[in-house]
Chains A and B, each alone.
Chain A
Amino acid sequence: MSISNVSRRNFLKTAGITTGGLVLGVALPVNALAEKGIMKASGSSLNAFIHLAENGDTTLYCGRCEMGQGISTALPSVVADEMEADWQRVTVKQGDADEKFGPQATGGSASIRVMYQPMREAGATAKAMLIAAAAKVWKTSADNCFAQAHFVINKTNQQKLGFGELASIAANMPVPEKPVLKKKSDFNYIGTKLPRHDQNEVVVGKRVYGVDTKLPGLKYAAIVHCPVLGGSLKSLDKTDALKVKGVTDVVEISRFDVPFGSIGGVAVVADNSWTAQQAVKKLKIEWNLGENAVYDTKEYKQQLVANVEKPATLAAERGDIDKAFKAAKHKISATYTGGHLSHAPMEPNASVVWVQKDSCEVWASTQSPVDIQKVLGQYLKREPKEIIVHVAMAGGAFGRKYKCDYVHEAAVISEQTGVPIQLIWSREEDMRTGYYHSINAQYIEASMDDKGNVTGWLHRAAFPSIATLFNPSLVRAPEQNLGDITNHLFGVENFRTESGDAKAHTRIGWYRAVYAIFYGFSFGTFADELANKAGKDSLTFVNQLFDNNKNEKQQAQIQRAKKALATVADKSGYHNRGTLPKGQGIGLAVHYSFQSFVAMAVHVEVKGEDIKVLNVDCAIDCGQVLNLDGATAQMEGAVVMGMSLALSTEITFREGAVVNSNFHNYPVMRITDMPNVRVHITDSDEKPTGLGEPGVAPFAPALSNAVFAASGKRYRDLPFKPLAV
């Protein structure tokens, strides 16, 4: 059983859970996360807790990290629904990093996917125990009682007992073997529009983020990093920096060669952040840049293109592609590219760390407190569990705050100065010292018969992969990184994927939507190019591509993808596109990622070189939706992020170092570019799937297709309008 009654257990206090009343422990399926590579499998133990206090307040303790995606609203609503609690009285507390909270890494759009079922069962269990408690008090049968809005009610005489009053009695009731879950039609909260629980604090400036931590005796640090990965400090003159009034220390930080350790740099400690930032500029530093000083993204991209436009290393194959190509009526090919991206959340990397002789405490915006424990444990030569991590709300993260190099640096500084340190990276350091989305090239070659059926598909991808973080000697993306190509839902009998050489010269990391960005772009755009060649409209052509997939196992998925695509075609006016004014066009794309299906129709106006996005229709099927409004917001946000990467954002390296520095030369989307976004959410009974990331992928291909429809110009390189930096 995955739910246990732990109301009387002692360890809860140490995990910061107030006791008294009813406490249920939930064992989350850790293996489901392990399978996604999100964390290592470990024994199943209790790792989320629901506490019903005697005053009726209900708290859910869990380890998922909030970064704006709304998880701390969605999960309590699920518990409250099954429990028949008043959801306003259910709050979520982010557990501090502790093994008890199990999988605390938040990534891969996996939170809801993994926690939905256990949270429902936990809520239903609590309800059953509360009903049993009330039945005991009233000396009646459980069948004669029901729960509603934080009360148990006696059906015969309408007597009521509050959840709080019943909490301690319920703690002595047996845990039901199989709690009965509600029917969808009986949901109160799941699938409705719920406001974010912390909004009231946000609008008055009271929401506390990682960057806002204050402690008595706190000192402030600023840092400058070695500009090139693998470089090291050659010489340092700190005289001028130390002369600045308010500066107390200059600390050298060596590169710590573990995944998510510091790249190496020099930090200044002062009475406030501003002084520290000013003094950093006065450091005279020379670096040994090392072998990555040759890195130049312009040349490198050309090399990637060359590597995919010739035979590469086989990743997967089915059928006989050579035969298909020989028999082809039409053959076409295209190469797509994309640049590095920086996450650039509005809150730069920040944390407070206090290392003392026998303790180490961390306050950080983080997606992965367990990695902080691991890295700091390794660095300080202490057990990971001795590192106490308080998880703060992140001011955006998008994958960046999964990696804790910035926390490691604060730990080094605190260790050396003996005081609690707040290290805030400047925007420039944040942009130049990232874990970037992969620069990449995709080459696709396909054959068609005279009816427009695609008979052969060769897809070569070259990109430095995230795996290089853990194994820097990799010279190309491992075959499993190309799995999403091989398992694509398009039906092509003869198929081959190849991995082109691409050694990493910088740190590569998960970026919202990850590889779906370039797979979505190349598939979605190439399909439109094929349609054009076959003389068919894109919608008909893509549906045919799906229909040609005879794999039994993929039929259900294909239907969902087609439905999403049909929805945006209908809603966007795609069928009447012939009546659009000159210079306007609608482009479609659909992509399956993080187990969800998202289609987009982008309506643009093209005037000369100018691309103006007017409307975006976005359809998502992510199974059962928990919070309709939250889901809508995630799609709106995904469109904005998709638009930034499609049109303008790109990180450029020259002589091994990042050239971009701040928002003037990393132009993320602004309000002036905002199209009218309409989100269409599929009403589905399937299990809930990813929501934070899958919306990003289909935007860029839909935009490329729209611009082509409007102007005949085909964009194959992301971003379409790179800024010269």
Chain B
Amino acid sequence: MKQSMIINGKTHEIDVDGDMPLLWFLRDRLEFTGTKFGCGSGLCGACTVHVDGQAIRSCITPVNTLVDKTITTIEGLSENGDHPLQKAWLNNNVPQCGYCQAGQIMNAASLLAVNTAPSEQEIDTAMQGNICRCGTYQRIKKAITEAAHTMYKEV
């Protein structure tokens, strides 16, 4: 039986070395380039994706640990780019170069899935693994708070 994982709703056979981190399976094998390489060591968060809804660093997660798991990347976070976080990101003009932002959004989505109204402190703690060298942190905080609001306060 071939091993596989589900990425953004589609089943993909794992046809690479089992030690290969998910990041490179995504980028080089499947050519999903939305997930970014920043450090390769779990230090920057640029490569963040969801495994069964939880944020992980794909650069240090080998594919053989992900058999039959459900992966969501930035490309699959929402149908039409309309996740409340994506909307809040646009509304606050968060991105500068934008390179870190896929990781930021995926990490924030994982936070908001379990915390409906994160405090500033909780945002800090959850997001501290995601570096933005352009310095968009202030707007990231604002956008997360705003998205939490639209997700949980409005019906």
Q: Which chain A residues lie closer than 8 Å to B118 at the CB level?
A: none
Q: Which chain A residues lie closer than 8 Å to B133 at the CB level?
A: 344-346, 396, 398, 641, 668
> Are A346 and B38 in contact (CB-based, < 8 A)?
yes
Q: Which chain A residues lie closer than 8 Å to B124 at the CB level?
A: 671-672, 674
- Provide the bound-state CA to CA distance between A664 and B43, in Å: 7
Find B34's partner among A67, A205, A663 (CB 8 Å cutoff): A205
Find B137's partner among A204, A273, A345, A640 (CB 8 Å cutoff): A640
Q: Mark A194-228, 1 if CB is under 8 A from B, else 0.
A: 01101110111111110110100000100000000
- Provide the bound-state CA to CA distance between A211 and B102, in Å: 15
- Provide the bound-state CA to CA distance between A69 and B135, in Å: 12
- Provide the bound-state CA to CA distance between A274 and B63, in Å: 12
Q: Is A245 close to B, CB under 8 A? A: yes
Q: Is A660 close to B, CB under 8 A? A: no
> Are A211 and B39 in contact (CB-based, < 8 A)?
no
Q: Which residue of B is nearest A204, CB measured? A: B81
Given contacts A205-B74, A346-B132, A346-B133, contact A199 B89 (CB under 8 A): yes
Q: Is A294 close to B, CB under 8 A? A: no
Find A346's partner among B94, B100, B123 (CB 8 Å cutoff): B100
How far is the CB of B71 from the nearest CB of chain A, in Å? 13
Q: In chain B, residues 33-52, which have Cβ atoms closer than 8 Å to a Cβ of chain A?
A: 33-41, 43-44, 46
Q: Is A13 close to B, CB under 8 A? A: no
Q: Which residue of A is nearest B98, CB measured? A: A202
Q: Which residue of B is nearest A66, CB measured? A: B97
Q: Mark A658-695, 1 if CB is under 8 A from B, else 0.
A: 00001110001111101011000000000000000000
Q: Which chain B residues lie closer than 8 Å to A547 at the CB level?
A: none
> Are A345 and B96 in contact (CB-based, < 8 A)?
no
Q: Which chain B residues lie closer than 8 Å to A162 at the CB level?
A: none
Query: How many of B's residues come within 8 Å of A, CB to CB?
Result: 60
Find B135's partner among A206, A207, A637 (CB 8 Å cutoff): A637
Q: Which chain A residues lie closer than 8 Å to B40 at the CB level?
A: 277, 426-427, 662
Q: Which residue of B is nearest A424, CB measured? A: B37
Find B96's partner among A69, A272, A275, A424 (CB 8 Å cutoff): A69
Q: Is B90 close to A, CB under 8 A? A: yes
> Are B97 and A272 in contact (CB-based, < 8 A)?
no
> Are A346 and B36 in contact (CB-based, < 8 A)?
yes
> Are B99 and A347 in contact (CB-based, < 8 A)?
yes
Find A68's partner among B97, B105, B131, B139 (CB 8 Å cutoff): B97
Q: Which chain B residues lie closer than 8 Å to A220 at the CB level?
A: 28
Q: Which chain A residues lie closer than 8 Å to B43 at the CB level?
A: 662-664
How far is the CB of B7 from the nearest CB of chain A, in Å? 13
Given contacts A68-B134, A426-B40, A427-B41, contact A674 B95 (CB under 8 A): no
Q: Is A395 close to B, CB under 8 A? A: yes
Name B's interface SS. Answer: loop
How far is the CB of B116 from the nearest CB of chain A, in Å? 20
- Provide the bound-state CA to CA distance between A348 and B97, in Å: 13
Q: Which chain B residues lie closer than 8 Å to A102 at the CB level?
A: none
How far is the CB of B55 from the nearest CB of chain A, in Å? 14
- Provide the bound-state CA to CA distance between A207 and B32, in Å: 12
Find A195's partner among B73, B93, B134, B139 (CB 8 Å cutoff): B93
Most chain A CB neighbours (cut-off 10 Å) among B29, B74, B96? B96
> Are B38 and A427 in contact (CB-based, < 8 A)?
yes
> Are B95 and A203 in contact (CB-based, < 8 A)?
yes
> Are A208 and B28 in contact (CB-based, < 8 A)?
no
Q: In chain A, residues 158-174, which have Cβ atoms closer than 8 Å to a Cβ of chain B?
A: none
Find B97's partner among A273, A396, A629 (CB 8 Å cutoff): A396
Q: Is A636 close to B, CB under 8 A? A: yes
Most chain A CB neighbours (cut-off 10 Å) among B89, B93, B130, B139? B93
Q: Is A657 close to B, CB under 8 A? A: no
Q: Which chain A residues lie closer than 8 Å to B127 at the CB level?
A: 671
Most chain B CB neighbours (cut-off 10 Å) among A67, A193, A346? A346
How far is the CB of A227 from the nearest CB of chain B, in Å? 19
Q: Which chain B residues lie closer than 8 Å to A273 at the CB level?
A: 24, 27-28, 37
Q: Mark B7-21, 1 if CB is under 8 A from A, else 0.
A: 000000000110011
State which size class the interface on A falls in: 35 or more
Find A203's partner among B16, B81, B96, B125 (CB 8 Å cutoff): B81
Q: Is A70 close to B, CB under 8 A? A: yes
> Are B96 and A70 in contact (CB-based, < 8 A)?
yes
Q: Which chain A residues lie closer than 8 Å to B33 at the CB level?
A: 205, 208, 211-212, 214
- Provide the bound-state CA to CA distance between A211 and B64, in Å: 25
Q: Which residue of A is nearest B38, CB measured? A: A346
> Are B39 and A274 in contact (CB-based, < 8 A)?
no
Q: Is A703 close to B, CB under 8 A? A: no
Most chain A CB neighbours (cut-off 10 Å) among B38, B44, B127? B38
Find A637's partner among B37, B44, B77, B136 (CB 8 Å cutoff): B136
> Are B136 and A214 in contact (CB-based, < 8 A)?
no
> Are B41 and A345 in contact (CB-based, < 8 A)?
no
Given contacts A69-B96, A205-B102, A346-B97, contact A272 B135 (CB under 8 A): no
Q: Mark A253-294, 1 if CB is under 8 A from B, else 0.
A: 000000000000000000111110100000000000000000
Q: Is B115 close to A, CB under 8 A? A: no
Given contacts A69-B96, A211-B37, contact A272 B136 (CB under 8 A): no
Q: Which chain A residues lie closer than 8 Å to B36 at the CB level?
A: 209, 211, 346-347, 395
- Provide the bound-state CA to CA distance between A70 and B75, in Å: 24
> Are A636 and B98 in contact (CB-based, < 8 A)?
no
Q: Is B154 close to A, CB under 8 A? A: no
Q: Is B145 close to A, CB under 8 A? A: no
> Are A204 and B135 in contact (CB-based, < 8 A)?
no
- Provide the bound-state CA to CA distance between A272 and B77, in Å: 26
> Are B128 and A195 in contact (CB-based, < 8 A)?
no
- Provide the bound-state CA to CA distance between A426 and B43, in Å: 13
Q: In chain B, residues 108-155, which have Cβ atoms closer than 8 Å to a Cβ of chain A?
A: 123-125, 127-128, 130-141
Q: Mark A621-650, 1 if CB is under 8 A from B, else 0.
A: 000000001000100111111000000000
- Provide the bound-state CA to CA distance between A591 and B138, in Å: 24
Given contacts A196-B93, A395-B36, A395-B97, contact A214 B31 (CB under 8 A): yes
> Are A346 and B90 in contact (CB-based, < 8 A)?
no
> Are B136 and A663 in contact (CB-based, < 8 A)?
no
- Provide the bound-state CA to CA distance between A639 and B132, in Å: 13
> Are B39 and A427 in contact (CB-based, < 8 A)?
yes
- Provide the bound-state CA to CA distance between A639 and B139, in Å: 13
- Provide the bound-state CA to CA distance between A212 and B90, in Å: 22
Q: Which chain A residues lie closer than 8 Å to B46 at the CB level?
A: 346
How far is the CB of A413 from the nearest CB of chain B, in Å? 16
Q: Which chain A residues lie closer than 8 Å to B74 at the CB level?
A: 203-205
- Provide the bound-state CA to CA distance between A393 and B20, in Å: 27
Q: Which chain B residues lie closer than 8 Å to A68 at the CB level?
A: 95-99, 134
Q: Show 19 A/B contacts (Cβ-Cβ < 8 Å), sorted by A.
A: A68-B134, A204-B77, A205-B35, A209-B36, A220-B28, A245-B17, A271-B28, A272-B20, A346-B36, A396-B133, A633-B93, A636-B138, A639-B135, A640-B137, A662-B39, A662-B41, A671-B123, A671-B130, A674-B124
Report, nearest first, the 9 A-B pairs whose CB atoms are least far apart: A205-B34, A68-B97, A640-B135, A395-B99, A205-B74, A637-B135, A202-B98, A274-B24, A272-B28
Known: A347-B38, A347-B99. 13 other contacts (CB 8 A): A68-B99, A198-B98, A203-B86, A203-B101, A245-B17, A274-B24, A275-B20, A346-B44, A346-B46, A394-B97, A424-B37, A633-B96, A640-B132
Q: Which residues of B contact A (CB under 8 A)?
A: 16-17, 20-21, 23-24, 27-29, 31-41, 43-44, 46, 73-75, 77-78, 81, 86, 89-90, 93-102, 105, 123-125, 127-128, 130-141
Q: Which residues of A contact B (CB under 8 A)?
A: 67-70, 193, 195-196, 198-200, 202-209, 211-212, 214, 220, 245-246, 271-275, 277, 344-348, 393-398, 424, 426-427, 629, 633, 636-641, 662-664, 668-672, 674, 676-677
